[in-house]
Amino acid sequence: MSVPYTVRVAEDPADREACFAVRKEVFVREQGVAEDIEYDAYDAIAVHVLAIREDGVPLGTGRLLHGAAAAAKSGGDASVGSLGRLAVAREARGLGVGVALVRAIEEAARGLGLAAVDLHAQTHALGFYERLGYEAYGPEFPDAGIAHRAMRRDL
């Protein structure tokens, strides 16, 4: 099944609300992450990307932190961005939306002059990110009660 969609940087408040709606559906409702930790101060300064169906239904989202916000997550290296909050709506899984979102975040990172992108992957998603060129490093750790590993890809 093919569903026409586009991926773009979230430009306005309506786009950002669409991003938050996907995150709420995936992280809060499906995975049981507490809503008060799903949204944070970084949301105001992050670059958000949005996958949206032709009819306006949001299908997926992710965000890129850079500068000081990313350095806190990537070991202090200001040349490394931090990809996070990648979420694809259940009905859009298997359509390539996740890959398109990751590539859009990497493109935004290149546009900011970043040399690499770090992320904290849920362990069940390690293979997905490995296929996109990310390499795991360091030990497994819990985040919001879910096992994660740090990963990085040079751009």
Per-residue model confidence as pLDDT tens digits over 107-120: 999 999 999 999 99
120, 74 contact by CB (below 8 A): no
> What is the share, in percent, of the chain residues with pLDDT greater than 70?
99
Query: For the chain, what percentages of helix, strand and coil (3-state, to nearest 5) are there?
Result: 35, 35, 30
- What pTM did the predictor assign? 0.93
The mean per-residue pLDDT over the stretch 15-20 comes to 96
Task: Output the pLDDT for position 1.
Answer: 56
Q: Strands 80-88, 116-122: parallel, antiparallel or unpaired by DSSP?
A: parallel
Residue-averaged pLDDT of the chain: 93
Distances (CA, A) of 5 to 1, 11, 59, 61, 100: 13, 17, 8, 12, 10
Residue 132 tokens, joined: 């996109």
Contacts for 28 with CB less than 8 Å, ≥ 6 apart = 34, 35, 38
pLDDT at position 70, please? Answer: 85
145 or 104, greater pLDDT? 104
Average of per-residue pLDDT across 3-26: 95
Q: What is the pLDDT, as a whole number, of residue 103?
A: 98
pLDDT value at position 80? 94
User: At 144, is the pLDDT very low, low, confident or very high (cuts 50, 70, 90)?
Assistant: confident
* pLDDT of res. 68: 83
Condensed to tens digits (0 to 9), the pLDDT of residues 63-96 reads 999 988 888 777 778 899 999 999 999 999 999 9
Tokens of 60: 């997926």
130: nearest Cα among 99, 93, 92, 85: 99
